[in-house]
Amino acid sequence: MRIIITLFLSILFLNCNKKEGKAFFNQSEITVEHHIKDSLAFELCAMFGLDQGIRDKEIFSLLGKTSRNIDTLSFNRLVKFIKTYGYPNKELVGEKNWEHECVGAAAMAIMLHNPHRLVNESEYLNLFLGEVEKGNMKREFLATVLDKHYWSRSRGEKVLYGSAFGTPCLQTKEETNAAREKIGLLPLEDSEFKNCE
């Protein structure tokens, strides 16, 4: 099983490292700053590869409950990265590295697969809210991650914050606006809710 996962991740990572036949890392400018940015980009690519690698239907069915453990490990790894370097962005990893999906989408993918950690553990909500306050992450994306939790629990029927996952219920207007205020978003008007009765 380990060999299959390792082989799959290696293939995924090698494919992620190429763009239009060009090397992923910029070898022409070898400076300490570039080396650090490339190393951070490499770390994000590895996280993305693991996160996305288990989404393949065949691999997912082979892993079963192990996939949730991998999601947990990926989330913990992302938290460690953020505590050390901050939430990933262009300035941190360099603009050229950021253009690669495995770099730019790593944190987003991992967070969207672990929204319950932010909803149920205030330590993580506070960590990511701190990154929003620093300007490293958008408030709207934080609301989207949080809404993914409510959307998943209700099987696509309800959200709390109002995001790409949908419109909140008018019946939860006070709760919604209090939750939005907590993460620094403006309250919604009545017209921005739906009736869920």
C-alpha pair distances (Å), 124 with each of 66, 75, 76, 127: 22, 10, 10, 5
Contact 16, 100 (CB under 8 A): yes
* pLDDT for res 18: 46
To the nearest whole percent, how much of the chain has pLDDT over 70?
85
The residue type of 10 is S
- Greater pLDDT, 35 or 3: 35
Query: Residue 137, by phi and psi: left (phi above 0), alpha (psi -120 to 50) or beta?
Result: beta
pLDDT at residue 5 tops 70: no
Q: What is the pLDDT of residues 183-197, one digit of tens each?
A: 999 999 999 999 998
Tell me which long-range contacts 165-171 makes (C-beta under 8 A, separation of at least 24): 167/192, 167/193, 167/194, 168/193, 168/194, 169/193, 169/194, 169/195, 169/196, 170/194, 170/195, 170/196, 171/195, 171/196, 171/197
Delimit the domains of the chain by residue range.
29-113, 115-197
Q: What is the pLDDT of residues 18-46, one digit of tens each?
A: 444 445 545 555 789 999 999 999 999 99
pLDDT at residue 7 tops 50: no
* pLDDT for res 153: 95
Q: What is the pLDDT of residues 61-115, one digit of tens each?
A: 777 778 888 999 999 999 999 999 999 999 999 999 999 999 999 999 999 999 9
